[in-house]
Amino acid sequence: MSPTVPAENPEDLFVGIDVGGTNVKLGVVDDQGRVIADTFFPTEQQKGPRYAIEMACSRVHQLLDECGLEYTRVRRLGLGTPGPMDIPAGLILNPSNLPGWRQFPVRQTLSEVADRPVTFANDAAAAAFGEYWVGAGAGFTSLVLFTLGTGVGGGIIVDDVSIDGAHSHGAEIGHVRIDSRAEARVCSCGMLGHLEAYASATAVVARTADYLAAGKESVLADQPSLTPLLIAEAASGGDSLALEVVMETADYLADGIACLAHVIDPGVVLIGGAMNFGGLKTELGRDFLARIKSGVRENTFAMVAENLVIEFAQLGSGAGFVGAAGLARRDFWRSQQGASTGS
């Protein structure tokens, strides 16, 4: 449990909704962060945000009915969406993977349809809060999450607060610059040398393809198309090029983590997202994590690195909705405190 939450109240329920370009995931979560029920449905972004919001609310009622629970126990909802967004204004701006959702007052609309207050968050920040609340970051007061997928996303939580920034663009840790050479790789944002251009799933495939094009020998040369999973399988099977790519990815991540470690000095750094090279279940995943740790130790103040825990995230694809529910719970608790103290 995160450090500043109140004593548990078993009656309280919270709903977390995590909007992605493909699916909307949602769940009903209790006061201790346990998932009571969860589901998902296709976003069908061309139908627009109101469709998804109404569908989400209808699914919440359905889940509660199936569990024999009353909606009156739902105190607040949490909503995570991709950026860019204006969090204080409750607006989703122009997300690249939700082109039908431009300039939409998503928080207010959900609040009206659900008849409850809504906490609005960046999806990666919500995932970070989920790990902080009941995942691999539980028990720490500060956390940085790196999510490795199509891009490199992230979230930073310090003492229950998500570091969203003055313009809702904080914690864009995939866009930390780790290569300042003129020939650095081009990031998806168009700039040079960002972490995402080296350590995302897209980048791992691109770097492997570059090595193969340069004539490096590998079993992957026979593959018509590459994926991180194929690269991981080749590395586990002893392919030296694939192994080199995975370990270089760890080195690039270590550069990014060292940068954040010097800024935040967090209690724990978590590696999440779809690309984890098997995580703790495989030797490759364990070697990947060990290489990240040694890279961070080499490039970070000893005082920071010695006490910094670096682990894989635990909640998987449920982190976003669990964390959104956790943020809603935090804000519900704050509103109760404000009511009781008159502030």
Between helix 240-264 and helix 283-299 the angle, nearest 10°, is 40
Q: Which stretch binds Zn ion (CB under 5 A): 25-33, 81-89, 168-176, 251-259?
A: 168-176
Which residue type sits at 164? Answer: D
Smallest gap, in angstroms, from Cβ of residue 220 to Zn ion? 26
CB 269 within 8 A of CB 302: no
**Angstrom distance (rounded) from CA 260 to CA 247:** 20
**Angstrom distance (rounded) from CA 149 to CA 40:** 20
Interacting positions 16-35 with Zn ion (CB under 5 A):
none
Does position 189 interact with Zn ion (CB under 5 A)? The reply is: yes
Contacts of residue 7, defined as CB under 8 A and 6 or more positions apart, other chains included, come to none
Does position 194 interact with Zn ion (CB under 5 A)? The reply is: yes
Smallest gap, in angstroms, from Cβ of residue 280 to Zn ion? 29
* Binding residue count for Zn ion, defined by CB under 5 A: 5
Smallest gap, in angstroms, from Cβ of residue 268 to Zn ion? 25
The verdict on whether omega for the bond into residue 84 sits within 30 degrees of 0, i.e. cis, is: yes
Closer residue to Zn ion (CB): 50 or 169: 169
Which SS3 state, helix, strand or coil, does residue 94 take? coil
Sign of the CA dihedral with 92 first, then 94, 96, and 99 last:
positive
Residue of 187, 241, 245, 308 that binds Zn ion (CB under 5 A):
187
Closer residue to Zn ion (CB): 179 or 331: 179
**Which string of x and - marks every residue 119-158 that binds Zn ion (by CB under 5 A)?**
----------------------------------------
Token representation of residue 109? 């609309």
Does position 175 interact with Zn ion (CB under 5 A)? The reply is: yes
Smallest gap, in angstroms, from Cβ of residue 168 to Zn ion? 17
Contact residues for Zn ion (CB under 5 A)?
175, 187, 189, 191, 194
